[in-house]
Amino acid sequence: MFASRAARPALRCPIHSAPVSRRDLSRKVILAENKNYIPIRTNLKGSALLNTPALNKGAGFTREERAVFGLEGFLPYDVHSIEKQSWRAWNQLQKQPTTILKHAFLASLRDQNQVLFYRIMQDHLEELLGILYTPGAAEAVANYSSLFRRPIGCFISFPNQDGMRAQLESHLHDINRVADVAYHCNDTKEAIDLVVVTDSEAILGIGDQGVGGITISTSKSALYTLGAGINPNRILPVVLDVGTDNHALFADPLYMGWKRTRLRGKNYEQFVDRFITHCRELFPNAIIHFEDFGLNNAYKFLEKYKDKIPMFNDDIQGTGAVALAALLAAIKASGQKLEDQRIVIYGAGSAGMGIAAQVQDGLQLLSGLSRQEAARRFWCVDRNGLLLESQGNSLRHSQLEYARPDEEIKTWDLENPDIHQVNLMDVIRNVKPTVLIGTSTHTRAFNEEVVKEMAAHVDRPIIFPMSNPTALCEVDPADALEWTDGKAFVATGSPFNPVELNGTEYSIAQTNNALIYPALGLGAILARSKTISPSMLMAGVHALSDLSPALEDNAPGASLLPDLADVRNVSVSVAAAVVRQAVKDNNAQDPMTIKIVNGEAGHGLEDYIKSRMWDPVYRPLELVD
């Protein structure tokens, strides 16, 4: 605790029992175990300090801090550790009777005490992830205007677009006021590492939700911090309010967004382009994460910006990346090759086509196939059956290259040859796939007949029913394992309990994007990458697949993916792979990171990554003028 600049005692690290000098603290690289003893400098005192979530410690302020910052009389006498505070908050949370009330409790805690919010989330990540994000966030999004208490994030509305730059600058100044920028950067423009933006058109399971989509941006931002330790004070959640086609919102007198049908066409694209331009000027090193944009717009902006700026679309790239990591783990565990797979994707929407695109990239980068050769490994089935070239204009752009030639099915044994539609069972019977992925939200579509037909031709079928929530999953993992005598590799989109079968317990991998996208973002931020290239994404995928418990010796029934509870350690390995690839691609711009990767800095990359990860602990405060 530092009362003034005149008399500053040496900061002692309890782990090493050696003082941490001021010179050490000013260096770019700081030992991971020392980082949380670096003081945060602030001029806030009394109620202003208590009302600043990024700095507030509640009952955790020490006796000395209470004296220096004028907090006596604002707090009860006893000092409580963050462990005790987390225990109390957890008990309070358990008394909330519904998911939406638990979500509201967590949001309120975040608005009061940022560190405590992240601590309780980290301590109970698996239990609370579904409350903070899906499915809990969906209910909060749909009821955003009714539940509104305190604005969080940045609201950019089309009618106010002329003030867009000033609005973003205001958030930059606000972040600089409380963020610990002195440790991380030398320029206020470097104070934002990540922008998470949505236009709320295609929120998972509930569609267009207008301005309420800010809850998705804030929740996704929190997962970057929980998963990879990205400083929450350096993340800007944004909603682009371009109207809504949700008529229930128009009828709601409490709705807080712009009451107009959703903006489309040239005006919409120019509005988004303007936003990207201002972000690049104001936050030149920030990653821009696109979330829950409509399918056509999502692909359009991905194609437009992926080679120009460091951007990422989780709905397209994140789902595909984690699915590919699970697929690679299954292939490695069974001694197969990626290029030998026959892949059927049931559900050709954004998630399904995103998975196809990522696996296609893997076939090109890892197996050396051409783009056309890689596309021939897929059979994609939509609501109208197998995608065929003759469907022409009815196919979306993202589906076109996966459409099969009509000539191919002329010799097939079809269930209804007189109907110009090839159903899932037709595809399974004729293609004899090695991999079956579901993104259809068609409950129990992978029935016993489908699974047994697939298993009749494959020694170790790979079955990924990835639709969310659990009720919409294509097959229960217990059924898939029973129908294949335990031979199937199974990964799901929703969490499932382990399955007991013939004396073996099978852990079911959840293809949760949080296992990869936070680490991908962290790696790109530390490298200050010019773009997030396909090879960087693939490096992260490979690193995640290598951490699969299923690859360990004598591990029957082991999960294809690491446990989400271990996501912080997973993120260190994945981020390190991303950073190394960024340097290899000449995509990295951060001099320190480049030196570390090249072995010129005297620091290991993994240790450096740990030193830059934000932890939910109370750091000492230093009072300044």
Query: Tell me: the pLDDT tens digits for 488-524?
Result: 999 999 889 999 999 999 999 999 999 999 999 999 9
Report the range of poorest mean pLDDT among 129-138, 152-161, 271-280, 564-573: 129-138
What's the pLDDT at 25?
A: 38
Interatomic CA distance for residues 249 and 343, integer angstroms: 41
What's the pLDDT at 136?
A: 76
Inform me whether the pLDDT recorded for 181 exceeds 70.
no
Specify the DSSP element, H or E, that contains 583.
helix 567-584
What's the pLDDT at 178?
A: 60
The per-type count for the chain, helices as H runs and strands as E runs, is: 26, 18
Give the CA radius of gyration of the chain: 25
Average pLDDT of the chain is: 90
Inform me whether the pLDDT recorded for 278 exceeds 50.
yes
- Point out the residues that are catalytic: 133, 220
Residue 625 binned pLDDT confidence (cut-offs 50, 70, 90): confident
Answer whether 536's CB lies under 8 Å from 574's CB.
no
Q: Choose the most confident range, by mean pLDDT, from 149-153, 296-300, 306-310.
A: 306-310
The structural domains of the chain, ordered by start, are 84-309 (3.40.50.10380), 317-511 (3.40.50.720), 515-611 (no CATH)
Name the binding residues for a divalent metal cation: 291-292, 315
Interatomic CA distance for residues 520 and 516, integer angstroms: 6
Give me the residues paired with residue 207 across strands. 203
Inform me whether the pLDDT recorded for 180 exceeds 60.
no
Name the binding residues for (S)-malate: 468, 512
For residues 423-430, average pLDDT:
96
Residue 350 binned pLDDT confidence (cut-offs 50, 70, 90): confident
Cβ neighbour number for residue 260 with a 10 Å cutoff: 15
Residue 32 binned pLDDT confidence (cut-offs 50, 70, 90): low
Residues 530-552: tens digit of each pLDDT:
999 999 999 999 999 999 999 98
Exposure letters 1-33 (e unless 16+ CB within 10 A, then b): bbeeeeeeeebebeeeeeebeeebbeebbbbbe
Residues 4-27: tens digit of each pLDDT:
443 343 333 333 333 344 334 334
Answer whether 309's CB lies under 8 Å from 194's CB.
no
Report the range of poorest mean pLDDT among 433-442, 467-476, 543-552, 561-570: 467-476
Q: What percent of the chain has pLDDT over 70?
A: 92
Residue 17's alpha-carbon distances to 30, 34, 224, 610, 621, in angstroms, are 16, 11, 32, 20, 20
What's the pLDDT at 189?
A: 61
Interatomic CA distance for residues 228 and 289, integer angstroms: 15
Inform me whether the pLDDT recorded for 165 exceeds 90.
yes
Give me the residues paired with residue 42 across strands. 623
For residues 187-203, average pLDDT:
86
What's the pLDDT at 9?
A: 39
Inform me whether the pLDDT recorded for 182 exceeds 50.
no
Residues 465-481: tens digit of each pLDDT:
999 878 889 999 999 99
Give the CA angle between residues 437, 510, 472 to the nearest 5°: 60
What's the pLDDT at 583?
A: 97
Name the binding residues: 291-292, 315, 468, 512
Question: Does residue 469 have a cis bond before it (omega within 30 degrees)?
Answer: yes
* Nearest alpha carbon to residue 403 among 395, 411, 413: 395
Inform me whether the pLDDT recorded for 203 exceeds 90.
no
- Dmax (CA) of the chain: 89
For residues 220-234, average pLDDT:
95
